[in-house]
Amino acid sequence: MFKTDHTVRTLKTIAMVAGLATVFWSLGLPYLQLAGAANITSVSDTLSDSAPSAPSNHTILFNATTGVLNTQSITVTFPAGFATGSADFSDIDLSGNTQGAFTVAATCSGSEDVSAAFSGLVLTLTFCAGDGGLLDPDEEVTLLIGTNATGGNAQMTNPVTPGSYEVTFTSGPSDSGATRVAIIDDVTVTAAVDTIFTFTVDGVGSGQTVNGVTTTGVTSSTTIPFGTLVDGVASTTAQDLSVSTNASNGYVVTVQIDGGLQSSTGADIDGFVDGSYTDTPATWSAPSGTLGSENTYGHWGMTSDDFVTGRASEFATSTFASASTTPRIVMGHDGPADGTTPGVGTARVGYKVEITGLQEAGDDYTTTLTYVATPTF
């Protein structure tokens, strides 16, 4: 085929341009792009909080249609009403699905891949010349702005007025796109839960255990019949307490007596130990029975197997204290209770009495116990 000098020169020029483009591309430098402007696709901006005036993170996704080369930029323009506050490059992460994460700095003065800076409501991210950073065509890009970025500590602030706001983008030499975010008022959810509190007392049979001691008598929910007492033989009874409540701060149950265990004759069975009405639980001991000291002729006391969550149980195993006209905590918990779990919603309270042969006769020794259950909502 015959070729003129003009044809040869033209072919040489084309070859030289192609060669230079290949070299520029291998060095990560800008080269001639023959594609025209295109739309950025799959654009979205997800807010961490869409309430008016709320600080919010932005998670921006888009497809870089024709790519972004060295010295080229991505811009994100937020509409009036948004505020960038103190957000800067340190609150920004940029990555691509194939390129991975890019290093981001305030300027291109070092070896970073991208510089990032706000100018008013415009964020500009520039791929630094010679540092190798670029986005291939159709790269799926993720841009994080706020505390969702690695090391981020500042967030943008949403507009005061609810509404739909357009965020616009440019990518590379001529690609552009837009998305919208909705700023809406928070929804207040309300509900009410009625207070719940039930307290029950149940009898306990003979041969059961209360705080390490075996019961010898049978009780009901309203009676504790010790029966006929015998010199030197201790009698033990018990009652089961249960509480169900949704009180956030729990509850306490106290017990008190209206007076001593007395007979109509005026005689009484004194409080443990030997009428000292001890308040500190101690191991059970028999009354001393000192002639002329009626307080020592007999005594009775109480115990509980409750292990109150949040505080140590008052009663160690097999220890007793005197019943008293002063309320004494025998059960409690520091939160809601189900009425079935030991140490939370149930406890067993025991009562023990023992006399000597000096205790005055009487067939009507009586006192009244009062339980008081108090929730704290």
Mean pLDDT for the chain overall:
89
The β-bridge relationship of strands 73-77 and 58-64 is: unpaired
d(CA 135, CA 343): 64
For residues 153 and 8, the model is more confident at 153
First-to-last C-alpha distance (Å) of the chain: 101
d(CA 245, CA 247): 5
d(CA 245, CA 251): 8
CB 155 within 8 A of CB 148: no
Q: Is the pLDDT of residue 206 over 80?
A: yes
d(CA 158, CA 154): 13
Q: Is the pLDDT of residue 10 over 50?
A: no
**CB atoms closer than 10 angstroms to residue 18:** 10
The SS3 of residue 326 is: coil
Q: Is the pLDDT of residue 298 over 80?
A: yes
- In tens, the pLDDT along 356-371 reads 999 999 999 999 999 9
Domain ranges of the chain: 36-183, 197-375
pLDDT of residue 132: 78
CATH class of the domain at 36-183: mainly beta
d(CA 255, CA 331): 9
Q: Is the pLDDT of residue 34 over 80?
A: no
Q: Is the pLDDT of residue 348 over 80?
A: yes
- In tens, the pLDDT along 237-267 reads 999 999 999 999 999 999 999 988 999 999 9
d(CA 83, CA 133): 29
Per-residue CA distances from 37 to 78, 165, 174, 327 (Å): 22, 24, 5, 86
d(CA 292, CA 246): 53
CB 165 within 8 A of CB 82: yes
CATH dotted code for 197-375:
2.60.40
